[in-house]
Chains A and B, each alone.
Chain A
Amino acid sequence: MKTTTLYTRIVLLYFLSTSTLSAQTEFSYRIINENVFTYNVFSENSLVNPDNLLQLNEQEIVNRFFPVGTFKKNEIKLQAEPKIFLNPLDEALEFAINELYLQYRVSDTFYATFGKKRINWGTANLWNPSNPFLQKDPFRIDNRLEGIVLTDLEYIGANFALNTIFSPAERLNRSTFAFKVSSEIRSLSYSFSYAFLGDEKQQFGVDFTLGANKFTFYGEGVLRNFSNSRLIDSEGLPEIDSIQNGFKNRDAEFVVGTMLNVLPRTILIAEYRYRSDFNNTESIENFKAFLPNSLPGYDPISMGQHSFFGQLNYMDTYSKYNISTNIFYDLTTNQLLCSPGLVYNGDDFKVEINPFIYNNSLSIYDFQGRVILSFFL
């Protein structure tokens, strides 16, 4: 709460200060408004949400506002992106700061950034295990995520780039420190990363993309000395995975994928994710047997070791209509989700229509219908 108040003051000061800008400064702004309408049909056979145990609504409406302001003067850039979520059905208002940072260009090749900012590491489309800070919303990867508070030092050389990030916590040994080195050899781009995530948690990451005329092939993976899973043991208790100090028995997660240009305006995206520390057939039976107590370990898309994502996307000649079919499938749990999509892009507005069709006893819903109307001013 205190943090939010502080950010509010900073944002107000920022916008007030921009009203007295000199002629040398550059100020730009845009307002993004997203109106999300969702209709839910609950699954009568759901093991996760029997008799609507979670008390979810049949209808949901959220109005999202993102006023984005950018101020540049000489070597300094200041960017603010507050987010305001209004839920008219529950009469709830949520306010937070997605981004608020100051970037100082020390030289053409060296940048220093302080504040709250989104960090986008990794090459995969849907899942980014090598990003220790943020994970995308697989239901809508366009969602504007909330950044992290950081100090970011970046060197951009002709042959390689180096990125170091320090994200503070209340105590130094709980803070996150990460760095990434990126380079490329002709059409192969790659990077290596390391992150200390506090409390002795560490991860080593690597990612790559290989570009060609008709496709790109990409992948990323990490080795961790800790686990992100919430496996349920035969007693119905969450397994506690201790931090490994050696290189043996590290947990691995990786994603490989391709973006294939089937026709000039038709693209096929396919991704596979592997997680060594996630449910196998036995542990998923434990999860089912001890529901709803095991609910914290629930994931609506993929709970097992092997997950697949496929998308076939067609865009018309004028980039106005976009039709896609999205399929998520988890081999271990047999979770299947199909989501065809239709997008209409105007010059300053966009309409997205997405039905979600579920086919599994673990699903909360049989069907969800979502319409998002966005305005870009």
Chain B
Amino acid sequence: MKNAIYIISILLTSLGNKPPMNQADPSRILEELDKNIFSLDMEFVMKMEVLKNEKVKRTYEMRVVKKDEKMRLDILSPSIERDRRVLNDGDNMWMYLPRSSKLIKIPFKQAFLGGDASNRDILRISLVADYEVIGGLENIEGELLLKLKAKDLKTAYNQVNFYLDTKTKYPFKQEMLSLSGKVIKTIEYADYIAFDQGYFPSKITILDQLRKDSKTIFTYTDLSKGTNKTDAFFTTASLSK
């Protein structure tokens, strides 16, 4: 409840008051996005809701810790999945299954917990490492369009388009495109809250464009900058501890 009041009060006091990211070239904006949102060392609790026709079909809650090139996710609920853990150690993704004490390496493009997002969508660490800017910033009807292209075929999507707020340069929409240029998924960034002298989107919605009746909503709470977890916390051996 305290958190909710805190978030609401922050939102009310911060409306129209977002400190803009540095005005710079598109590459600079990409770096800022990466630094402030995607590859920030942090801890938070993430709620994931999978919806069909606006009705919640499945809800997960998990604690997430990000550090450098690594990310670990511990599922807190529902009861059936409690203590399942997922690790991106920079090169590989692993899932620890507490029921059988089994550790398995999982493919990047597998659907994350069956939802609209892939493992790579959720556990991606760095935008800069995977993508490079193509062209300049385009101003389309009051929105800035930043186009990115995959550096190699290892990434999940060939092209990514970011739609940015003209003043703050924070993203409010992201499109993921296939090799043929077709939009496969859309991500909406909303409910920005004050965080680390800037802002952070506390609600992210992933829409699968091939399945219009389905969407996955992620809500972030208990955000804290940095982490005191050591490198050992992000190893496969520590997943069972």
Q: Determine which residue in B101, B103, B211 has the highest number of CB atoms from chain A within 10 A of its CB, and name it.
A: B101
| Size bracket, chain A contacts | 35 or more
Please tell me if A211 contacts chain B, counting CB pairs below 8 Å.
yes
B114, A315: Cβ atoms under 8 Å? yes
Q: What is the bound-complex CA distance between A319 and B52, given in angstroms?
A: 13
A144, B80: Cβ atoms under 8 Å? no
Could you give 19 example pairs across A and B, Cβ below 8 Å? Answer: A103-B241, A161-B236, A161-B237, A211-B105, A211-B106, A213-B154, A213-B156, A214-B107, A214-B108, A214-B109, A216-B106, A218-B105, A259-B106, A264-B109, A267-B110, A318-B57, A318-B58, A346-B80, A376-B79
CB contact between B107 and one of A143, A158, A216 (< 8 Å): that residue: A216
A30, B116: Cβ atoms under 8 Å? no
Q: DSSP class of A's interface residues: helix, strand, loop or mixed?
A: loop
A348, B154: Cβ atoms under 8 Å? no
- Chain B binder among A180-188, A197-205, A270-278, A328-336: A180-188
Count, chain B residues at interface, CB 8 A:
47
Residues of A within 8 A of B114 (CB): 265, 315-319
A158, B109: Cβ atoms under 8 Å? no
Query: Of residues 306 to 355 in A, which have CB atoms within 8 Å of B's CB atoms?
Result: 315-320, 345-350
Please tell me if B102 contacts chain A, counting CB pairs below 8 Å.
yes
Q: How would residues 45 to 65 of chain B score, 1 for a CB under 8 Å from any chain A CB and 0 otherwise?
A: 000001010000111000000
Q: DSSP class of B's interface residues: helix, strand, loop or mixed?
A: mixed
Q: What is the bound-complex CA distance between A120 and B239, given in angstroms?
A: 12
Query: Of residues 141 to 192 in A, which have CB atoms within 8 Å of B's CB atoms?
Result: 141-145, 154, 156-158, 161, 163, 182, 184, 186-187, 189
Query: Of residues 197 to 241 in B, which have CB atoms within 8 Å of A's CB atoms?
Result: 211, 214, 230-233, 235-238, 240-241
Task: Indicate whether A125 sits within 8 Å of B104 (C-beta atoms), given known contacts A158-B231, A211-B93, A347-B79.
Answer: yes
Q: Which residue of B lies closest to A209 (CB)?
A: B105
List the interface of chain A (C-beta within 8 A of B).
Answer: 30, 77, 103, 105, 108-109, 111, 118, 120, 123, 125, 136, 141-145, 154, 156-158, 161, 163, 182, 184, 186-187, 189, 209, 211-216, 218, 259, 261, 264-265, 267, 315-320, 345-350, 376-377
B57, A156: Cβ atoms under 8 Å? no
